[in-house]
Every structure is written in structure tokens, then in C-alpha cells.
Amino acid sequence: MLPLSVLDLSVVTTGTKPAAALRNSIDLARHVDGLGYVRYWLAEHHNLASVASPAPDVMIGQIAAVTTHIRVGSGGVMLPNHAPLVVAERFKMLEALFPGRIDLGLGRAPGTDGATAYALRSRLDRREGDDFLERLHELILWQTREFPSGHPYNNVVAMPDDTPLPPIWLLGSSDYSSELAAQVGMGFAFAHHFASHDAIDAMVHYRNRFQPSAWRASPQAILAVAVITADTDDEAEKLAASFDLNRLRRDRGQYLPLPSVEEALAYPYTDAERTSILRNRSRLFVGSPATVQQKLQPLIDASKPDELMVITAVYDHDARKKSYSLLAEAFGLAKPAV
């Protein structure tokens, strides 16, 4: 069966404060570790009232420490916000502490608004524009130690120097990232849950253009999808009401905590808003396990992912855990040996 993974934004709700959302992430990671999920990735977002985690590297360490089997990584580190040396040091440390269980997923967006992005970078770097390729190249050089002769960084060592960087994945929602990941021979993860670009095109493009490298001999592609599963279609639709209202608000630039189901169901939607919700549903798979599998299968068959990474944002934490349990059972995940 297709392996399943988790993408977690540490979602803040109107009834769950940010600190509790972070603790819920740790609890969910423990839960899916016992269900047979293979990967647990944490996102980086800043200045969003709906997302509690701006520092995936911190969360990775916390989650890896309380789990046993699952790989833990970033989905992702937004490289424009960080000096490549800092990223290299922190992920080498994580790899040293949890060998063979860490992933380094990299994104090229700032993960926030312009003012916050400036605040993150203004005292560190005066470069402007998209310098992701430059930063990625530098990050790789901290691993390969192939700085040009006479370069000052030849005298700088990213510690711990006896530990390699963990596997690098490039994250994307467009054809740019799929092309880059193929060219440099790295893993690729496509964000179907918010992308406007066609997921099938990006995934097929990556596989067709992949060039083997020292990082990876063959292509490996993850498809990230938003899923809400419950015992019945009606129950899942009810849980999804929170997502619908939250997404509608996000489209207006209102990044608020996730509302309760009761608030969402009581909201007086206009016809135009209902049309917008239906349009947004193209990026969300809702229903019983059987219904969700049926909806997902055409996308899986066409895009041929090596792994499905699931993000589930619902108001109730126990309902979120159950959604992952039902999905694990539907996909036939094998529980790891104790």
C-alpha cells in the first residue's frame, strides 16, 4: 500500500491557544508513530494567528525525542529566512541526536507577509529578490566543503562535523520547484493542499526530468493533500465546516484561528461565498475512509507519488487523531513492532 505521512501546522483554534496547539502536535506525533505513518513534518509560518509553530527545528527535536519509528522533518524550513550555516548546524545536530530519522525540507517562500519577512532578515542580510538558489548552493557547500580556493568559509566548519546533513527535500507548489528538484537530484514534495498549479503536471515533470546525484539515485516524490475523515460522510462534512469558513477568511487576508464547527455552521454564507467554498473544496478530500479513498485514487493513479502526506485541520483534537487512525486503517498501514 501507499505509505502515509503527516504534515502538521500546529493549528490554533478559537478554543485552543498556541501553546496548547504545540502540545497537541507532540501528542498527535506519538499517536501516528504507533499507526505506521512513516514521516512527520512541521511547517514554518510567522505572524499567523492560525499557526503556532514558527520554528520547525525546535519542534522536530521535541517530537523525535518522544517517538520511536517515524521520521521527523521540516515541511519546511523557509530558506530565505535563515543563514545557510545556521540551517546546516541545526540539522546536523538533529541528525546527530536522532540518526536516520531526520528530514530537511526546504521552501523558497518566506512563509509570512512582507513586513514580517523584512523583520526576519533585515539585520542579517541586505540582499533583495529571490536568492533561494544562492542559499541552497551555500547550504550544500557546508556539506561538501567545496568552497573555492581562498574563500573565507574554508576556515569555518559546520558542527557537528562528523555528522552529515539529513536528506534534503525541495518543497513546491509550482513547476519551478519540480524542475529544480529534478535538476539537482533531490526529493520533491508538492503542496496540492494550497497549490494553484496542477499536481499531476508537477509530479510527472519531476520524474521525467530527474537527474541522479550524490543526494539521491532515483526520484522520490511526496504528494501533500488535505484530508478530513470520519466514520460517515455526514460527520466528516460537519467537521469540514470549520475548514470551509477558515479558508474563506484566508482568501480575504484574515488568518484567524480555526473556528468551531458550531460557529461555521451558524455563519450566514452568501451565494458567492458558497461558490467560493465549493471551489476551495477541490483541494480538500472529505468523507468516510472509503469515500476519501475513492476521491483520492484518480489523483494518486495520475501523479504516482511514492508517498501521500496528509494534513488534517479540524477543530477537535480527538477528531483529528481519529481521522488519521481511520485513514491508516483504510490504507492498510502496518503498525510498527514495539
Q: What's the rounded Cα separation, in Å, for the pair 209 and 167?
A: 20
For residue 108, the domain's CATH number is 3.20.20.30
Across 13-22, 131-140, 182-191, least confident range: 131-140
* Residue 285 identity: F
Domain membership of residue 216 (yes or no) is yes
Which residues partner with 228 through β-bridges?
286
- pLDDT-based confidence at residue 113 (cuts at 50, 70, 90): confident
Q: Give a yes or no: residue 235 inside a domain.
A: no
Residues 6+ away with beta carbon under 8 Å from 313: 9, 11, 226, 228, 242, 243, 246, 258, 320
Question: Does 126 have pLDDT greater than 60?
Answer: no
pLDDT at 71 over 90: yes
The candidate with the shortest Cα–Cα distance to 336, out of 66, 68, 1, 4, is 68
**The predicted structure's pLDDT at residue 196:** 85
Tell me what percent of the residues of the chain surpass a pLDDT of 70. 96
Q: Can you tell me the distance from the alpha carbon of 72 to that of 94, in angstroms, rounded to the nearest whole number?
A: 10
Which pLDDT does position 128 carry in this prediction? 62
Lowest mean pLDDT among 125-134, 154-163, 266-275: 125-134
Q: What is the pLDDT of residue 194?
A: 87
pLDDT top residue among 178 and 127? 178
61 vs 94: CA distance, rounded Å: 7
Better-scored residue on pLDDT, 177 or 285 = 285
For 23-63, write each residue's pLDDT tens digit.
Answer: 999 999 999 999 999 999 999 999 999 999 999 999 999 99
Beta-strand (E) ranges in 14-94? 39-42, 71-74, 77-78
Q: Is residue 268 part of a domain?
A: no
Q: Which domain holds residue 159?
A: 4-228+286-331
Q: Is residue 327 part of a domain?
A: yes
The answer as to whether 159 is a domain residue is yes
Q: Please state whether the peptide bond connecting residue 160 to the residue before it is cis, i.e. omega within 30 degrees of 0.
A: yes
Of the chain, the percentage scoring pLDDT greater than 90 comes to: 85
For residues 202 and 303, give the distance between their C-alpha atoms in angstroms, rounded to a whole number: 8
Residue 67 · residue 78 · CB < 8 Å: no
pLDDT in tens, 208-220: 999 999 999 999 9
Q: Are 225 and 321 in contact (CB under 8 A)?
A: no
What rounded mean pLDDT belongs to the chain?
94
Q: For residue 119, is it within any domain? A: yes
Dump pLDDT digits (tens) for 77-97.
999 899 999 999 999 999 999
Nearest partner of 299 among 313, 286, 283, judged by Cα: 283
Domain assignment of residue 296, yes or no: yes
CB atoms under 10 Å from CB of 88, counted, come to: 21
- pLDDT, residue 123, reads 56
- So what's the pLDDT on residue 129? 65
Question: What string of DSSP letters covers 260-295?
Answer: PHHHHHHS---HHHHHHHHHHGGGEEEESHHHHHHH
What is d(CA 336, CA 168) in angstroms, rounded to the nearest whole number? 25
Residue 92 resides in a domain: yes
**Mean pLDDT of all residues in 311-320:** 98
pLDDT at 130: 73
Question: pLDDT tens across 142-183, in order?
Answer: 999 999 999 999 999 999 999 999 999 999 998 898 999 999
Euclidean distance between CA atoms 327 and 94, whole angstroms: 29
d(C-alpha 53, C-alpha 306), whole Å: 27
Counting the structural domains of the chain, the total is 1
